[in-house]
Structure 1
Amino acid sequence: MSDSQRWFFLIFVLVSGFLIYLLQPILSPFLIAALLAYLADPMADKLELKGLSRTLAVVVVFLVMTTVMLLLVVWLLPKLGHQIQVMIKLVPAVFTMAQTVWIPWLETNTGVSLTGFDLESIKLLMTGHWQQTGGLVKDLFSSVSQSGMALAAWVANIVLIPVVMFYLLRDWDLMMERIGHLLPRNIEQKVKLWAQECDEVLGAFIKGQLLVMLALGIIYSLGLWSVGLDLALLVGMLAGLASIVPYMGFIVGIVAAAVAAMLQFNDLTMLAWVGAVFAVGQALEGMVLTPLLVGDRIGLHPVAVIFAIMAGGQLFGFVGILIALPVAAVIMVLLRHLHQGYKSSKLYDC
């Protein structure tokens, strides 16, 4: 790569970052649509290989995804909302159980005195925050409903996402080909190689790990529902989301489910059933889900994912969260090649 090309790409990156910073209020629907198109492109390609035209393949994929999302919204959100309300009502009971059962048990078995631990203040603080959060949500919806422009913008973004996704998905392969033709000829092959590696990294995480998280959320939810837990859906989905970090979903889920089970049933035998549900989930993850959906592809490290999402949110807000993983994948690939270059340089082996 020549010096002029290096300067060009550096200026391009800086200008792109500046434009993202300026345009972040309007970029969210476009980035969400691009992410959905990226996820759906392999399905459309498979339908094309079976003889369908690109447009017809996109229509089929689009209809399937839209139907699934609508069903999730209609069925899932009301149930989650109800279970969140139930959980909020259980918060005082959790503190009461901790004060009357858990702390005395710890003091008896460990000899550590927790008399100075002020649970009542924490209870009042959390209860106040829950009430404040509810008030903020109420005020937010009130302001949105009173502001015609805000409501119109919100509806426009919801409508814009599927429209942009449809056109991006239809022209995805064509856009990738045109971008390849714009690359300088002397670095085209190397950039294409890096792009393929970035796609593998993102594919291993987004198309693999996120599917594992979704599958675990469903498994945990169904398992907890089968043992009669009222908060099965909420706890199961929370455990699935926390599975972005290995074993974190298991720890968060089993602790939350155990507390919820004790509050609901007050029966120690229910803890065995909860443990069995999460043991089955862990076994399925290790022996079936991860080998099948992720395989031996190298994705993003969980710590890198967490840092990228937090850094993106800090720098660019919600838009930064959306672009965090693609940017992290590019940086990971570049660091891998930089590491290889360093190992073969005189700096490493004099």
Structure 2
Amino acid sequence: MTFTPTQIRAAAWTTIAVVSWLLLTLLAPVLMPFLLAAVIAYVLHPWVERMRARRVPRWLGAGLAISLLMLVMLAVVLLIVPVITKQAPLLRDQVPALLERLNDWVVPFAGRFGVDAQVDVTVVREGLKSLVSGHESELIEGLLSSLRIGGSALAAVVGNLFLMPIVAFYLLLDWNNLVQRSKGLIPPRWRESVQSFLDETDEVLGQYLRGQLVVMGLLAVIYTVLLVLVGLDLALPIGVFTGLAVFVPYLGFGLGLVLALLAALLQFQTLLGVGLVFGVYMLGQAFESMYLTPRLLGERIGLHPIAVIFALLAFGHLFGFVGVLIALPASAVLLVAIRRARNEYLKSELYLDEAPAEPSPPLALPPSTNGGEA
């Protein structure tokens, strides 16, 4: 049995795809920090090139870019620490008082219907005391035990945190050469179309990242200022965190809203204070959805809100939290591929080919005028 050249090429590419998928599946834990480092290098590469154009050595520009990114990530983490450290004592001291006030309203209301309903504040108070204070030794012992059990996983996480910036640094040093060598592996007959696809993808991702950074900065300022005007003590950390967390659509906004409402409930202990904070977040969300995102991102990516939700759920299910982070950029790349596939389909014979026309009936000869003789 002989195979045609087309069948041989198809079998070869299928084999390459299957082997690549198996390798990615088996080496996923090892490849993850390298893939994240490649994403970091891709994002920071334009900054390094701009510094290079100003005669800054590439190694210095790469080091400065990565150091700045690490400082931003550290600042975000440090913003959350005051929120957590302040909320824990407030939970222990003020939640029982809030529950007693809730009992003062619930018990008479439920008594009208013959129902004895009330919250046992004593049990809640003792539970919060045991959770927040009084059992530090047990908590430390349990933490050390879990660290011993999952020591390899912890070492892997810590190792990846140190590994990613190092790998990203070396990728930035040799980024242009790596890109050229990768393009050299593309078959010559495909290089023009692949280069066009990469250029369009790079443009879409660049517009998305630049617009998203501007949106994050503006929202961080807006939420902080509005929460300060409301009088929230933790306005700065919560406002900045909310603005930066909107990089993860819906999830970041929701987490910031929960933190702000909890802080408002524990500080103000009134519906008015909680309502004002809630109004700040609704105003910020409306401003982002109706003005910032359409104005700064607009239709450049072209993802419908339903497509955004589906992408977040699908990528989160497949790749976990990292999938949620890369859902929109990856969806933008897929959208470019889908657009190009649609254009090719509209130009293909499969779409343009029409049904064969029915043969026209033969022309009838005019009747003879000389008695039937030609």
Query: What is the TM-score when the length of structure 1 is the normalising length?
Result: 0.70
CA contact (8 A) 2:248 2:324 kept: no
CA contact (8 A) 1:201 1:297 kept: yes
In 1: Cα distance, 2:342 partner to 2:101 partner: 53
Residue 175 (1) aligns with residue 178 (2): yes
Determine which structure has more spread, i.e. the larger CA radius of gyration.
2
- Equivalent position of 2:369 in the other structure: none
More displaced, 338-347 or 78-87? 78-87
2:84 to 81, 84, 95: 81
Deviation, structure 1 residue 161? 1.4
- Equivalent position of 1:110 in the other structure: none
Residue 65 (1) aligns with residue 74 (2): no
Deviations 1:242-265 (A, max 9, x none): 57558x977886687467535532
One-letter code aligned to 1:164 = V
1 or 2 for the larger relative contact order (CA 8 Å, sep ≥6)?
1
One-letter code aligned to 1:69 = M
In 1: Cα distance, 2:266 partner to 2:281 partner: 19
In 2: Cα distance, 1:261 partner to 1:318 partner: 28
CA contact (8 A) 1:217 1:238 kept: yes
1:216 to 216, 219, 228: 219
- Equivalent position of 2:156 in the other structure: 153
Structure 2: where are the runs of 5+ without partners? 1-5, 132-137, 355-374
Structure 1: where are the runs of 5+ without partners? 108-112
Distance 1:34 1:257, change over 3 A: same
Distance 1:310 1:337, change over 3 A: same
1:200 to 198, 203, 206: 203
How many residue pairs get aligned? The number is 332
1:335 to 313, 326, 338: 338
- List aligned pairs for 1:274-289, cutoff 5 A: 274=277, 277-278=280-281, 281=284, 285=288, 289=292
Deviations 1:98-156 (A, max 9, x none): 88779x99x9xxxxx9x9x9999xxx9xx99xx7xxx9998566422576655543432
In 2: Cα distance, 1:213 partner to 1:138 partner: 40
CA contact (8 A) 2:80 2:241 kept: no
Deviation, structure 1 residue 336? 1.1
Q: Percent identical across equivalent pairs?
A: 38
One-letter code aligned to 1:162 = P
More displaced, 162-171 or 250-259? 250-259
1:49 to 44, 47, 53: 53
In 2: Cα distance, 1:137 partner to 1:311 partner: 37
One-letter code aligned to 1:335 = I
Residue 23 (1) aligns with residue 27 (2): yes
In 2: Cα distance, 1:142 partner to 1:18 partner: 35
In 2: Cα distance, 1:229 partner to 1:341 partner: 56
Distance 1:275 1:148, change over 3 A: closer
Distance 1:302 1:19, change over 3 A: farther
Query: What is the TM-score when the length of structure 2 is the normalising length?
Result: 0.66
CA contact (8 A) 2:91 2:266 kept: no
CA contact (8 A) 2:222 2:284 kept: yes
One-letter code aligned to 1:36 = I
1:33 to 37, 51, 59: 37
CA contact (8 A) 1:254 1:278 kept: yes
CA contact (8 A) 1:208 1:294 kept: yes
Q: Secondary structure at the match of 2:27?
A: helix
In 2: Cα distance, 1:137 partner to 1:184 partner: 58
In 2: Cα distance, 1:65 partner to 1:85 partner: 30
In 1: Cα distance, 2:101 partner to 2:10 partner: 63
Deviations 1:265-322 (A, max 9, x none): 2455546753664476357646875477536522544544443343344335566556
More displaced, 219-228 or 170-179? 219-228
- Equivalent position of 1:144 in the other structure: 147
Residue 264 (1) aligns with residue 261 (2): no
Distance 1:173 1:348, change over 3 A: same
